[in-house]
Amino acid sequence: MELDTRALALLPLVLASLATFLQPAAANDGTPRPGGGFSLRLVPYGGWNSTMHVDGGGFLHLNEQAATTALRPQIHGPRGFTYSVATTVGTGRGRRTYDLVLDTASSLTWMQCVPIAHPFAQIPPPFNPDISPSFSRVSRKSSLCHGPSPRQTCEFRATRLDGTHASGVLGNETFAFANDGGAAAAAEVRGVVFGCVHTATGFDSHGVLAGVLGLGRMRPSLIWTRLHQHGQDGRFSYCLFGPGRPSRHGFLRFGADIPATGHMRSTKILYMQYTTSPDFSAYFISVVGISVAEKALVRPPGQRQMRDLFRRHKSPDGRWNGGCLIDPWTGTTAIIQPVYHVLEHAVEEHVTRLGLPVVKRDGYRLCFGGATQAAFEHLPTVTLRFEEGAGLVIRPQQLFVFVQRDICLAVVRSEHMTIIGAMQQVDTRFVYDIAAAKIRFAPERCSDDTGGQN
């Protein structure tokens, strides 16, 4: 069955209208900056209770009945790997705390604001700028503003290829971040530019989420503002935990709050010059190879070198394509087509050798039947190898899901680019170091990152 991976929560095409005006972060001196840290509560959403459970070996089981209705048409792989961050917005009577989706691929934080044309469900009710004394609209004259706007206010549109579309006006507001994500705010940040969304379509709020916390590397993202406007430590970090763990939440940590983890590997963030691409706000990293069970895959016949297949390049139509980015808002990893097929073939060969026959299942490209406990112990890992030699090892528990008695490959095929999604990031700590232009990572039991709080 052909699956249209464009329907996945894939390409976070960000701020097409703002993008051309933004400058790339000049983040190359690598010097640590002063400034305290803080940690925000990171909460998973997506009906983990009803649609999935994790067995003793750490494998995810999708409840077929629930999964079928929960999966959007033509998506394979589990949904529900959406993480949100509690963010307090506004002052006075307008002050509210909202859960915003963690998104590192876009630089604009946005949320629903009254008046709303076709509201999506959220808790608490949408932000009302009229009753927050600290709210102001960003002027048309601001350098953040782009494109003709009939009124004096600065309008914006944000689009992702998964169909999420949001538009409204840019606002300027005081945000507060509570260390424990609770009501008592610790850190207030004034002058945060965010999207006050009056029209949104395609956004899955799970009935709760109010919008998106954009931690992309460009203005006006929170991390950009911290580093460039407040001269603070330009690092943030998270460690995503999967379902079936006792934790109810983890933390999105900033600056000095990031734990010192030994033996971290790192890879450089690619700062691309061609900033007219609408998706340059994302963190692109350089993948040069991929292995299955530690055996490097070779390029498909007649194709370019592996590293070139993963490289971001300009297509004849003038658009930028390919490349590899890392994004916790994308549920599962998508791999660029020619490489995906080689990967699929290698996984099939490895697993059938364990005695598990290939079986057909709707919504998945590769499933195996007759799984036995003995076979699980020999399922392969997949390693993405980065330019500087570091490799991200994805364990079988993050590669396969159980659908009834069968196991299916949860990594999917992409026509446009490679994206390291949330499920494959589980149980690895990632530190995004914007000043040093590095992403560092190391395996960790993420359910242990509870910060001593509940």
Ligand X SMILES: *[C@@H]1O[C@H](CO)[C@@H](O)[C@H](O)[C@H]1NC(C)=O
CA distance 211 to 192: 15
Strands 265-268, 438-443: pairing is antiparallel
The least distance separating ligand X from the CB of residue 16, rounded to whole angstroms, comes to: 19
The least distance separating ligand X from the CB of residue 35, rounded to whole angstroms, comes to: 19
The least distance separating ligand X from the CB of residue 355, rounded to whole angstroms, comes to: 35
| Cβ(102)–Cβ(9) below 8 Å | no
Residue 15 tokens, joined = 């701020």
Q: Toward ligand X, which CB reaches closer, 49 or 372? A: 49
Q: In what order do the strands lie in the sheet with 358-359?
A: 52-54, 60-62, 400-403, 406-409, 367-368, 358-359
The least distance separating ligand X from the CB of residue 222, rounded to whole angstroms, comes to: 14
Residue 413 tokens, joined = 């095929």
CA dihedral 272, 275, 276, 278 (to 10 degrees): 80
Q: Toward ligand X, which CB reaches closer, 157 or 307? A: 157
Closest to 423 (Cα-Cα) out of 410, 404, 413: 410
The least distance separating ligand X from the CB of residue 264, rounded to whole angstroms, comes to: 32
Q: Which residues bind ligand X (CB under 6 A)?
A: 49, 138, 142, 144, 172, 190-191, 193
Alpha helices in 168-219 (DSSP H): none
The least distance separating ligand X from the CB of residue 190, rounded to whole angstroms, comes to: 5
CA distance 147 to 195: 16
Closest to 225 (Cα-Cα) out of 109, 119, 110: 109
- Exposed/middle/buried for 266, CB within 10 Å: 0-12, 13-18, 19+? middle
Q: Toward ligand X, which CB reaches closer, 46 or 396? A: 46
Q: Toward ligand X, which CB reaches closer, 49 or 65? A: 49
Measure Cα distances from 393 to 108, 274, 290, 352 in Å.
Answer: 31, 30, 10, 22
Strands 96-103, 211-214: pairing is parallel
Residue 216 tokens, joined = 């992309």
Q: In this chain, which residue has its C-beta nearest to ligand X?
A: 172
Residue 275 tokens, joined = 């900033």
Q: Toward ligand X, which CB reaches closer, 95 or 361? A: 95
Q: Toward ligand X, which CB reaches closer, 243 or 323? A: 243
Counted residue by residue, the chain has a size of 454
Q: Toward ligand X, which CB reaches closer, 140 or 378? A: 140
Q: Toward ligand X, which CB reaches closer, 246 or 318? A: 246
The least distance separating ligand X from the CB of residue 33, rounded to whole angstroms, comes to: 21
The least distance separating ligand X from the CB of residue 15, rounded to whole angstroms, comes to: 15
Strand, coil or helix: 114: coil
The least distance separating ligand X from the CB of residue 411, rounded to whole angstroms, comes to: 27
- DSSP class of residue 246 equals S
Q: Toward ligand X, which CB reaches closer, 110 or 284? A: 110
Strand, coil or helix: 66: helix
Q: Toward ligand X, which CB reaches closer, 45 or 238? A: 45
The least distance separating ligand X from the CB of residue 156, rounded to whole angstroms, comes to: 12
| Cβ(397)–Cβ(403) below 8 Å | no
CA distance 121 to 132: 22
Strands 165-177, 136-137: pairing is antiparallel
